[in-house]
Chain A
Amino acid sequence: KNEVEQSPQNLTAQEGEFITINCSYSVGISALHWLQQHPGGGIVSLFMLSSGKKKHGRLIATINIQEKHSSLHITASHPRDSAVYICAVRRRYSGGGADGLTFGKGTHLIIQP
């Protein structure tokens, strides 16, 4: 079982719909990231969370540390939101001195006009 699980894997929705992407993790973490990856491969960091909720424009990210769960919401979705959304965690205790991120497999989102 992956340490970071995302759902759904694929999501197609109509423009304007409210979108929710979920992320569950099984390790202790110090931070959780939501990232956006466009078809060319470049990655943009959307949020970094350690507790509570953050909002940026039409994007909202929440995290429940006790339940080891985070959600990314997109309000009034638009075709330009089409991308892969990736959840990644920084483990609280990392072996070997490395403290990079552990990633989920991503959610492929397509917003149709």
Chain B
Amino acid sequence: GAVVSQHPSRVICKSGTSVKIECRSLDFQATTMFWYRQFPKQSLMLMATSNEGSKATYEQGVEKDKFLINHASLTLSTLTVTSAHPEDSSFYICSARRREDYSYNEQFFGPGTRLTVL
């Protein structure tokens, strides 16, 4: 149990286009999902926290108008990279916390999406 999927696993796009990444909890309800970014040879960095039915909370330095997050249901959060540029090329990973684990903070990670912007 507690499986998180991401789609797509890899995406290559042209500069200026928008890319949507989906994060789904397959066998549990996730009230909270987290979006992380990992540049080569660097540690993961939290981008934003997404709570179902409310606006995402962004970390300092993350542009909310560029990285649009929607958490419309208890099993799906989406991250849209708008007007992507080569510097947005990175590995994007989501994680989800089960509805019943709110105070426990167990997080289940997706397999990640590798974005390359040409």
Q: Name the B residues within 8 Å of A90 (CB-CB).
A: 105
* A98/B59 contact (C-beta < 8 A), A41-B112, A42-B112, A106-B43 known: yes
CB of A97 closer than 8 Å to a CB of B = yes
The smallest beta-carbon distance between B8 and chain A, in angstroms, is 13
Q: Are B44 and A99 in contact (CB under 8 A)?
A: no
Q: Name the B residues within 8 Å of A59 (CB-CB).
A: none
How extensive is the interface on chain A, given as a class?
20 to 34
Q: Which of A33, A44, A98, A100 has the most CB of B within 10 A?
A: A100
Q: Name the A residues within 8 Å of B46 (CB-CB).
A: 98, 100-102
Q: CA separation between A65 and B45, bound complex, in Å? A: 23
CB of B106 closer than 8 Å to a CB of A = yes
Q: CA separation between A41 and B114, bound complex, in Å? A: 9
Give the number of A-B contacts (CB < 8 Å).
Answer: 66
Q: CA separation between A67 and B47, bound complex, in Å? A: 29
Q: Which residues of A39-78 are within 8 A (CB) of B?
A: 40-45, 48
Q: Which residues of A83-101 are within 8 A (CB) of B?
A: 86, 88, 90, 96-101
The smallest beta-carbon distance between A1 and chain B, in angstroms, is 14
* A43/B43 contact (C-beta < 8 A), A97-B57, A100-B34, A100-B49 known: no
11 contacts between A and B (CB under 8 A): A2-B43, A31-B105, A41-B111, A42-B110, A43-B93, A45-B107, A45-B108, A90-B105, A98-B49, A98-B59, A99-B105
Leading 5 A-B pairs by shortest Cβ distance: A100-B46, A43-B109, A98-B49, A42-B111, A41-B112
